[in-house]
Structures are given as structure tokens and as C-alpha cells.
């Protein structure tokens, strides 16, 4: 690649003794997790600089939202971070509820929390699979997806679809849960407990995994905050911040759970934080099963989704991090003036350059896997 035809945002320093070269990783590459392009400046196999390029699957969701009704935008939120679709629904719905000033009955809240936590486990299982897969253990990928399928079976029975759920509505949800919902979740949790033991044995103490992830891609707490990281990436760097604790929504303030925090900020820490979060989510689910109200309404009285003039903001903790929705209603009606979404993956990719410098190209793959980005959510 000639020096004159380098991609934008890419600069070559000529004061090195060795010859640097440029590698284009993506947009079609197995481990960029979607259509993400990374322009790499390499010195041999060592990375000097990485410049991420986005926009390959930009669909203009926020612009489209301006000509959509509020209800239609709930379906759009599924198509952002498709791994945590059900949680994205919740984030949008909470913002709308603030505008409509409706409450949710107790049973409705429990349904929301349970489905959200199932979604969190599903997303972290995908992380587990991709992490192992990106390290070269293809078997991990299948193991992670096996339990995720079970969650999707549950979601399918409850919501009618597996991935893009489009389930929550202002005041509750579309349907009540089926009668066997609690039993299915119970059976699944029992299975998952056994499975997680195997999976952790498979990766957590594997010497090659430890060698490849410890001390790799360290992100300091200051940098994590400066870049706006959230979720497990932030917590792995030693910042105890979780929206569920810091700014509780739904019924999270009534539930007992811990926020796992580790302090090194390397790839292994990001891995252990997510594994610990699976266990915390299971703890939340067990509590929900115990307290789940059998009787009572599951949604508030239906009324048209019309928001009065104003600005409404909600933030929730998805599996990836802080997912915020900002709705601006300029006129009272069914359509927003503007909806903005703050997704967690974008700041993580922005911090990538900070983490990979001086590491090998294999480490870039490991670091990308532990950031767990979902490209459709970056390129909304």
C-alpha cells in the first residue's frame, strides 16, 4: 500500500528505523463482529495505531424515528443491539412512560426484570462463546450458543419472537407471560448452574487463556471514565458504577444483588466480570421467581401513546453498558421531534486505540472480543 493512498484518519510517522505497514482489518473479517473496519498501522506483528471506521451498516434509525410513531420506534430499538433487544425495549419504554406518566403494575415490573436478566445472560453467553472462539477455541462458540438457544426458546414462548422481541409497551408489555413461564425459567436456571461450572472450567483456568488475556489491553479507570465506557468494561477497570444501583429503574431497588468489580482492567478482568454478572443475574432471577405475583394485572390500562411537549430521558443498564434514550417531543402527538440513543459500544471502540498499542495482532482480536461490541448498535 503506497503511503499516499492511506485511508483518512491515518498518519504515518517516518522517524522509525523499521518499515511500518498498513493492514485493513474488516469490514469483512471474522473477528470484527460485524461490518466494522479497523485500519491498523503495524510494525511487524506489533500494532502501532488502530483507527476504527464505522458506518458500513448505518441505517439512519434516529432520522427514521422522526417520521415514526413512538410505538414504531420500540421495534427499531430491537435492531440496534440485537443481543440485548429486550433490554433496549425497556430503555425506550421507560422514556415514553416518563412522558405519558403511566405506572406499571407489580407483575408487569417482574416480567420486565426477569426478561431483561434473561437477556443479559443470553448476551453474556454470546460473549463467552465469542471470546473463546476468537482465541481459537471454536468449541466455546457452540457451548455458549447452546444455553443461549434455551433462553431464546423461553423468549419465543413469551414474546412470539426469538431475537427481535418488540415486547414491552408503555404501562407493561404486549402479553401476559404463559402459565409455565416460571417453571421454564426455574428449569433453565437449574440447567445453567451445571453448565456454567463446565464452561468456567473450560476457559477460566485454562493456562493458554490466562496467558493470552492477563495483562493484555489494560484500560485504566481514568481512561475508562474519560472515554465514556460503561457496563462490564468500566467495572473491570475498577469503577463501581451500575445504573441498576446508581439510578435504579423498575424494581431493581427491591432486589438483592452485587455489582462485580475488578481492578486491573485487562482482558481477563473483563471476562471474569461478565461471568460474575451471569451469576448475579441468576441470583436476581431466583429472587424474582420467589416473589413473582401470581395474580394481579400485568399491564396498566391501555391508552394511546401520545407524549406532551417536553424532553424525556431514560437510562438503563444493558448487558453491554449504559443504554440511554432521549426523546424530544416538540408537539403533543404520536410522533417524536427527535429521538437520540446513547449506545454503550461506541465509546468502547473509541477506547480501542488506547488499549491495543504495543500489542500483537492476536491481542487485538482478544481485546475486541472482551469489549463485546455489536456493530448495528454503533451504526444505528
Partner 1 sequence: MFVPSITHPVGDFIREWVPKLSAYLPEQLQSQTLDSIAAFLINALLCIIAVCAVNIGSAPILIYMERKVCAHVQCRLGPMRLGWHGTLQTIADVIKMLFKEVYSPSGADKLMFYVAPLIVLIAPFIIAALIPFDHNLIVADIDMGIPMIIAVNGFGVLGILLGGWSSNNKYSLLGALRSGAQMISYEISFAMILLFVVMISGSTSLMDIAQAQDGTVLDWFIFKIPVLGFIAFILFFISSTAEMNRAPFDIAEAEQELTGGYHTEYNGTPFAMFYLAEYIALVTNSALAATCFLGGFHAPCIGVAAIDGVLQMVPGVVWLFAKIYFMIWCYMMVRWTFVRPRVDQLMDFEWKFLLPVNLVLLAAGAVWMIFVG
Smallest separation (angstroms) from partner 1 to the CB of 369: 9
Q: List contacts with partner 1 (CB under 8 A).
A: 21, 23, 29-31, 45, 132-140, 142-143, 146, 203, 206, 208-209, 211-212, 360-363, 365
Query: Smallest distance, Å, CB 155 to partner 1?
Result: 21
Smaller CB separation from partner 1, 126 or 316:
126
Shortest separation between residue 212's beta carbon and partner 1, angstroms? 6
Provide the Cα torsion 13, 14, 15, 21; round to 10°.
Answer: 80
Nearer to partner 1, 19 or 295 (CB): 19
CA-CA distances (angstroms) from residue 155 to 112, 121, 268? 12, 12, 30
CB of 330 to partner 1, least distance (A): 47
Rounded least distance, CB 22 to partner 1, Å: 8
Q: Using an 8 Å Cβ cutoff, are 105 and 172 in contact?
A: yes
- Smaller CB separation from partner 1, 139 or 331: 139
* All cell numbers assigned to 207: 493456562
**Shortest Å distance, C-beta 195 to partner 1:** 11
Based on CB atoms, which residue is closest to partner 1, 315 or 363? 363
Closer residue to partner 1, CB minimum distance, 3 or 23: 23
The answer to whether 10 touches 53, Cβ cutoff 8 Å, is no
Cβ atoms within 10 Å, residue 293: 13
Nearer to partner 1, 142 or 330 (CB): 142
Amino acid at each position: 500500500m503506497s503511503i499516499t493512498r492511506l485511508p483518512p484518519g491515518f498518519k504515518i510517522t517516518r522517524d522509525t528505523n523499521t518499515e511500518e505497514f498498513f493492514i485493513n482489518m474488516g469490514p469483512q473479517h471474522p473477528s470484527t463482529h460485524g461490518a466494522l473496519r479497523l485500519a491498523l498501522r503495524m510494525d511487524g506483528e506489533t500494532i502501532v495505531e488502530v483507527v476504527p471506521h464505522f458506518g458500513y451498516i448505518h441505517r439512519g434509525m434516529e432520522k427514521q424515528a422522526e417520521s415514526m410513531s413512538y410505538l414504531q420506534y420500540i421495534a427499531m430499538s430491537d435492531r440496534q443491539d440485537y443481543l440485548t433487544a429486550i433490554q433496549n425495549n425497556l430503555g425506550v419504554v421507560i422514556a415514553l412512560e416518563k412522558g405519558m406518566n403511566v405506572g406499571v403494575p407489580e407483575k408487569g415490573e417482574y416480567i420486565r426484570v426477569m426478561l431483561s436478566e434473561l437477556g443479559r445472560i443470553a448476551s453474556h453467553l454470546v460473549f463467552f462463546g465469542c471470546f473463546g472462539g476468537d482465541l481459537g477455541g471454536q468449541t466455546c462458540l457452540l457451548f455458549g450458543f447452546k444455553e443461549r438457544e434455551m433462553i431464546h426458546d423461553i423468549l419465543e414462548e413469551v414474546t412470539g419472537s426469538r431475537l427481535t422481541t418488540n415486547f414491552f409497551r408503555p404501562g407493561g408489555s404486549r402479553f401476559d407471560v404463559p402459565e409455565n413461564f416460571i417453571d421454564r425459567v426455574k428449569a433453565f436456571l437449574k440447567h445453567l448452574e451445571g453448565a456454567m461450572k463446565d464452561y468456567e472450567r473450560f476457559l477460566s483456568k485454562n493456562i493458554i487463556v490466562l496467558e493470552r488475556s492477563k495483562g493484555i489491553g489494560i484500560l485504566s479507570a481514568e481512561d475508562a471514565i474519560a472515554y465514556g465506557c460503561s457496563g462490564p468494561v468500566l467495572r473491570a477497570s475498577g469503577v463501581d458504577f451500575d445504573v441498576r444501583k446508581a439510578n435504579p429503574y423498575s424494581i431493581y431497588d427491591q432486589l438483592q444483588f452485587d455489582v462485580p468489580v475488578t481492578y486491573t482492567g485487562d482482558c481477563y478482568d473483563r471476562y471474569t466480570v461478565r461471568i460474575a454478572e451471569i451469576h448475579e443475574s441468576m441470583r436476581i432471577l431466583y429472587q424474582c421467581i420467589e416473589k413473582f405475583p401470581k395474580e394481579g394485572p400485568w399491564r396498566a390500562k391501555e391508552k394511546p401513546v401520545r407524549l406532551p411537549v417536553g424532553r424525556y430521558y431514560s437510562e438503563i443498564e444493558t448487558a453491554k453498558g449504559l443504554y440511554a434514550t432521549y426523546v424530544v417531543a416538540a408537539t403533543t402527538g404520536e410522533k417524536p421531534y427527535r429521538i437520540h440513543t446513547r449506545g454503550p459500544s461506541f465509546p468502547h471502540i473509541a477506547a480501542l486505540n488506547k488499549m491495543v498499542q504495543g500489542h500483537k495482532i492476536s491481542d487485538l482480536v482478544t481485546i475486541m472480543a472482551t469489549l463485546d461490541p455489536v456493530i448495528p448498535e454503533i451504526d444505528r
